[in-house]
Chain A
Amino acid sequence: MTALTSPTSRRLLWTFTDGLTLVGRELGRLRQNPGELVAALIFPAVMVVLFGYVFGSAIQVPGGGNYREYLMPGLFAMVTFLAVMGVMTRMATDAARGVMDRFRSMPMARSAVPFGQTGADSLTGLLSLAIMVGAGLLVGWRPHRGLIPTVEAFLLMMLLRYALSWVGAFVGLVVRDEQAADQFVPLFLPFTMLSNAFVPTGGMPGWLRFLSDWNPVSALTAASRRLFGNPGAPSGDLAWPLAHPVATVLLWSAALLLIFVPLSVRTYRRKGR
């Protein structure tokens, strides 16, 4: 009991409960906007059909195998990177509409807002991952290596997603403007496609292949292919990130968290105009 009355532990408790309240806010928004939920359901289905059947009809998986089995780890990676967009837009909207100022003028824990928003995104992330898994199972994708590696793959996705959501939080806090945040959205597609997520990188020109090999999307895709036992796991003379995809994802996550957690918290606390 004495522990809870000291200012530091009370602040920690508030950071936690305020964060939970903001997670609850996200749930409330979804309940009020079932349309967004439907859109979140349709997007992965469209991706699976578009890539799995349209592109898949013309793409040879290296080493043989079903293209849709090859594709799903790539789509999981793509959905993981959506975290940046979601958190960025929500932070920028709150800043632009004065909601952030209201938070700041309240006796809330100062770190609660970035922690709450990123925590809320993890929840959304779990949901979209579940939908994606359902879509994958429907088109014939299966994890082949048993429970533990499968769980490891999903944990890896959630970890990187959490780290990425802090990048989004930082960018959103800096741009403070929904329209400006929207300008970043078109960058998303080329960034995720410049990887091994949808096509083998062997045929790319050297410089493009270099970018693709070092793209974290590629590492996450390669790691999940390996852990799910899906076709297209890279072999031969590989760039370091693809030879060690799991370690690469862990390193990316750690680096992003180390940089963007303190940066975002500081930017949130810094007083504005």
Chain B
Amino acid sequence: MADPIVFAEGLRKSFGDVQALRGLDLSVPRGRVCGVLGPNGAGKTTAVRILATLSDPDAGHARIAGYDVVRQAGEVRARIGLAGQHAAVDEKLTGRGNLRMFGRLSHLPRREAHRRADELLERFGLTDAADRQVAGYSGGMRRRLDLITSLILRPEVLFLDEPTTGLDPRSRGEIWDSVRELVADGTTVLLTTQYLDEADRLADDIAVVDQGRVIATGTPDELKATIGDRLDVVVEDPAALRSAATVLTTLAGTGPTTMDADRLSVALPGGGLRLADVVRELDRAGVAAADVRLRRPTLDEVFLRLTDRKEPVR
């Protein structure tokens, strides 16, 4: 297998008494989208800051395209783009003004900086707003500008630190489309997010981070497979929910993971169950089922299982 373009091993970082990273390992092959998924405070941003040369690890090491992030920071900076949680642009300039400035600061010749600015604005649908001051942009437009600003030098690796936090669904969708475009160009993307659906939609591989280390890795499907399929049952009469739970517990060997007013969900054992058996057993117990279905687990359920939390992480 080719060398991973992003490689981190045993990264540790503490701030006072707080251990933000406790031996984080990460490996991203070229051209993939790696979703780093974790709750607030899991260490996602700290990890990105170290990989983007903004912060040095206390221990461990990391390489981008083979260059050490501490000793060869200049080489790393020439190959990465970073779009953070802030819209890190100058609000008092226009969108085009920002792109031209950052292009010049990336040492593009003036003409090339201007051409690249126009090209990016056109491609990511900001041409109409290009000559307006950024202070008047919507949240989604600012993030998009922030994102394309990090693309000026055609980075080999793009770090997106929670690119859609705080955005409305439509703006999130636009950012997602932009990221997919980049991936089509072959850019490697490392995306941190606390939104499971975002990781599910965008990431080829997911690294689940909790308390400063990676606790699971795999494709979304692989991660889902680790906790097996789910069985959802909706009962016609909420009063019958308890009897339904008893039936399902007997069949599946474990109790339901979630129970609402008229529905419950249970993890299936490795071998699975036949739907017909479930319906027959419910019927025998006198439970009228409005709906019985087998489904793949959601990433939320995987995440809850992995991090052993009571509440979904949002």
Partners in one complex: yes
Interface residues in chain A, defined as those with a beta carbon under 8 Å from any beta carbon in chain B: 14, 17-18, 21-22, 24-25, 28-29, 32-33, 97-99, 101-108, 112, 271-273
Shortest beta-carbon distance, A16 to chain B, in Å? 12
Contact A107 B53 (CB under 8 A): no
Tell me, yes or no, whether B244 is within 8 Å of chain A by CB: no
Q: What's the Cα separation between A103 and B89 when bound, in Å? A: 10
Tell me, yes or no, whether B85 is within 8 Å of chain A by CB: yes
Q: A106-B102, A271-B56, A273-B15 are in contact. Are A29 and B92 (CB under 8 A)?
A: yes
Contact B80 A99 (CB under 8 A): no
Q: What's the Cα separation between A108 and B104 when bound, in Å? A: 10
Contact A107 B106 (CB under 8 A): yes
Q: A98-B85, A102-B82 are in contact. Are A272 and B90 (CB under 8 A)?
A: no
- Interchain residue pairs A-B with the least CB separation, the first 6: A98-B86, A98-B88, A102-B88, A21-B104, A29-B92, A107-B77
Shortest beta-carbon distance, A31 to chain B, in Å? 9
Contact B52 A105 (CB under 8 A): yes
Identify which of A25, A98, A101, A102 gathers the most chain B CB atoms within 10 Å of its CB: A102
Which residues of A are found within 8 Å of B82, using beta-carbon distances?
A: 101-102, 105
Which residues of B are found within 8 Å of A98, using beta-carbon distances?
A: 84-88
Which residues of B are found within 8 Å of A33, using beta-carbon distances?
A: 92, 133
B88 interface neighbour in A28, A32, A97, A271, Cβ under 8 Å: A97
Q: What's the Cα separation between A28 and B243 when bound, in Å? A: 71
Tell me, yes or no, whether B105 is within 8 Å of chain A by CB: yes
Tell me, yes or no, whether B245 is within 8 Å of chain A by CB: no
A105 interface neighbour in B80, B91, B107, B133, Cβ under 8 Å: B80
Q: What's the Cα separation between A271 and B52 when bound, in Å? A: 11
SS of A interface (majority): helix
Which residues of B are found within 8 Å of A24, using beta-carbon distances?
A: 101, 104
A271 interface neighbour in B55, B77, B92, B133, Cβ under 8 Å: B55
Q: What's the Cα separation between A18 and B103 when bound, in Å? A: 11
Contact B88 A99 (CB under 8 A): yes
Contact A105 B104 (CB under 8 A): no
Contact A104 B106 (CB under 8 A): no
18 CB contacts below 8 A, A to B, read A21-B104, A21-B105, A25-B97, A33-B92, A102-B149, A104-B54, A105-B53, A105-B80, A106-B77, A106-B102, A106-B105, A107-B74, A107-B107, A108-B105, A108-B106, A271-B53, A271-B56, A273-B15
Residues of B121-168 contacting chain A, CB below 8 A? 133, 149-150, 153
Contact A28 B101 (CB under 8 A): yes
Interface residues in chain B, defined as those with a beta carbon under 8 Å from any beta carbon in chain A: 15, 46, 49, 52-56, 74, 77-78, 80, 82, 84-94, 97, 101-102, 104-107, 133, 149-150, 153
Which residues of B are found within 8 Å of A106, using beta-carbon distances?
A: 77, 102, 105-106
Contact A273 B49 (CB under 8 A): yes
Shortest beta-carbon distance, B211 to chain A, in Å? 18
Shortest beta-carbon distance, A43 to chain B, in Å? 19
Q: What's the Cα separation between A33 and B88 when bound, in Å? A: 19
Q: A21-B101, A97-B86 are in contact. Are A272 and B55 (CB under 8 A)?
A: yes
Q: What's the Cα separation between A156 and B19 when bound, in Å? A: 51
Which residues of B are found within 8 Å of A104, using beta-carbon distances?
A: 53-54
With both beta carbons as reference points, the residue of chain A lying nearest to B13 in the complex is identified as A273
Q: What's the Cα separation between A14 and B94 when bound, in Å? A: 24
Contact A25 B107 (CB under 8 A): no
Identify which of A29, A98, A108 gathers the most chain B CB atoms within 10 Å of its CB: A98
Q: What's the Cα separation between A24 and B97 when bound, in Å? A: 10
Shortest beta-carbon distance, A151 to chain B, in Å? 33
Which residues of B are found within 8 Å of A32, using beta-carbon distances?
A: 92-94, 97, 133
Which residues of A are found within 8 Å of B150, using beta-carbon distances?
A: 102
Identify which of A97, A107, A271, A272 gathers the most chain B CB atoms within 10 Å of its CB: A107
Q: A24-B101, A271-B55 are in contact. Are A101 and B84 (CB under 8 A)?
A: yes
Which residues of A are found within 8 Å of B104, using beta-carbon distances?
A: 17-18, 21, 24
Which residues of B are found within 8 Å of A101, using beta-carbon distances?
A: 54, 82, 84, 88
Shortest beta-carbon distance, B98 to chain A, in Å? 9
Which residues of A are found within 8 Å of B77, using beta-carbon distances?
A: 105-107
Q: What's the Cα separation between A14 and B106 when bound, in Å? A: 10
Q: What's the Cα separation between A103 and B149 when bound, in Å? A: 11
Identify which of B46, B80, B107 gathers the most chain A CB atoms within 10 Å of its CB: B107
Shortest beta-carbon distance, A87 to chain B, in Å? 15
Contact B53 A28 (CB under 8 A): no
Shortest beta-carbon distance, B158 to chain A, in Å? 11
With both beta carbons as reference points, the residue of chain B lying nearest to A29 in the complex is identified as B92
Q: What's the Cα separation between A103 and B104 when bound, in Å? A: 12
With both beta carbons as reference points, the residue of chain A lying nearest to B79 in the complex is identified as A107
Which residues of B are found within 8 Å of A21, using beta-carbon distances?
A: 101, 104-105
Which residues of B are found within 8 Å of A102, using beta-carbon distances?
A: 82, 84, 88, 102, 149-150
Shortest beta-carbon distance, B150 to chain A, in Å? 8
Q: What's the Cα separation between A7 and B102 when bound, in Å? A: 22
